[in-house]
Amino acid sequence: MRVFLRIFRENFVIFVLLALLALFSIIYPQKFWSPVNISAIFRQFLRLSLFALGPTMVVTMGSMDLTYVGIWMLGGVLTWYLHPKLGSLAILVYPLLGLATGLLTGLVQVKAKIPSFILTLSVTVSYWGLTAWLSGGYPRMVRGYRFITTSLSPYVPMALVLAIPIMASAIFIMKGTKVGTYLYAIGSNEEGAELSGIDTRKYKILAFTLSGLFTGVGLIILFPLLGGAAPTELRLGNLVEPLIAIVLGGTPLVGGSGGPEKTLLGAFTFAVIQRGLGLAFLKPELVNLLLGLIVLGAIFVGTRKLKGMIVT
């Protein structure tokens, strides 16, 4: 019982989620719980969470990683390039690209001491340019990977099952290993971590590398799921929505607390909000406005409950 109380106290977003589920059940009694809508919520959840899992690790360490959109775009066009030669294996370019990107940004961040926000944003912008150049400006379709895009049942997409090991390993790394503990320690108090004998530079690079790797592995599932073609235009929504999932879940951007399990909760809640508003047949502009306000409200209420925590 006490464990439950603690979980609820530390994850206020659960209340937001339950309230929203109740609200939407009342407004659209049939539509909301229909197989189409439920599986759409899961798809949206997958999109948000697989993009956000890696960056969550970097954020708990107190830095920022925005390379996920860049990896998605550039990896898409590379997959299209390699598909005629390698067949289905071409998609494995994603984890490699993610790993390389993460390692490189980590190294540059630590050696050159560039603020991670602007560094990773520049990486994404550069990849965007590279993508547009390589693809000739058109989104390039890659077919295949039906086993990922099929449905396991009318409610559950196959991709969700495939994503579970990725999510579980992210949580394990952060909660059950030395690396995770060190990332929390660095995010909470970098100097103190150093004084405890931790090689903070090494673990910073490792955090970015892990983040890139998780994004890359997640994209094996996401790329086909999101239509089998990466965009060649940088859209704000793609960049911002995973970040909202992170913050909504309860990982403050200053680092030190939170974690992947919270990001999953945040991603699910955000997916419910998005789908709930999508059902209302509102004008798209209005949906965005409402979305923004609801997220703002949820974060506001949520952060009030985090006593003693630093909130950003």
Partner 1 sequence: MASEKIPLLELKGVNKTFNGVVRALIDVNICLYPGEILGIVGENGAGKSTLMKILAGVLPPDSGEMYFLGAKVSFPRNPREAASRGIALVPQEKGVIPHLKVYQFLTLGNEDCFSSFGRLKIGEMRKTAEKILSELNIDCDTNAYMYELPLPVQKLVEIAKAILTIRVRCRNTKITPVVILDEPTAPLAVEHRKHLFEFMTKAKEHTSFVFVSHIIPEILGFADRIYVLRDGRVVASHNLREEKLSEEDIFREIVGRSSSEFLKRRESVTRETPWRVLLSVRNLSKRGSYYNVSFDLHEGECLGLFGTAGSGKAEIIKTLAGIMDFDEGEVVFDGRSLRKGEPPYMRLRRGIGYFSGETGKELFLNWSIARNLSILNLEKVITLGGIILNSKKEEEIAERVMRALKIKAPSPRTECYSLSGGNKQKVSVGKWMERKPRLLLLEDPTIGIDVGAREDIYEALLEMKKNGISMVLVSDDPKEYVLLCDRILYIKGGRIEKTVTPEELEKILREE
Q: Tell me the closest approach of the beta carbon of residue 263 to partner 1, in angstroms.
A: 16
In the bound state with partner 1, the residue whose beta carbon lies nearer, of 34 and 181, is 181
Distance from C-alpha of 211 to C-alpha of 204, rounded to nearest angstrom: 11
Distance from C-alpha of 103 to C-alpha of 108, rounded to nearest angstrom: 9
The amino acid that residue 149 corresponds to is T
Which of 35, 137, 192, 292: binder of partner 1 (CB under 8 A)? 192
Q: Cα 282 from chain centroid?
A: 26
Contact between 198 and 179 under an 8 Å Cβ cutoff? The reply is no
Which of 12, 24, 45, 184: binder of partner 1 (CB under 8 A)? 184
- Enter the DSSP assignment of 89: G
Instruction: Give the three-state DSSP class for 151.
Output: strand
Q: Tell me the closest approach of the beta carbon of residue 182 to partner 1, in angstroms.
A: 8
Q: Tell me the closest approach of the beta carbon of residue 95 to partner 1, in angstroms.
A: 20
Which of 52, 91, 185, 277: binder of partner 1 (CB under 8 A)? 185
Residue window 218-257: x/- pattern of binding to partner 1, with contact defined by CB under 8 A: --------------------------------------xx
Residue window 150-179: x/- pattern of binding to partner 1, with contact defined by CB under 8 A: ----------------------x---xxx-
Exposure string of 166-192, with b = 16+ CB inside 10 Å and e = fewer, is bbeebbebbeeeeebebbbbbbbebee
Q: Which residue spans within 96-247 are E strands per DSSP?
A: none
Binding residues among 193-222 for partner 1 as defined by CB under 8 A: 193, 195-198
Binding site for partner 1 (CB under 8 A): 172, 176-178, 181, 184-185, 187-189, 191-193, 195-198, 256-257, 308-309
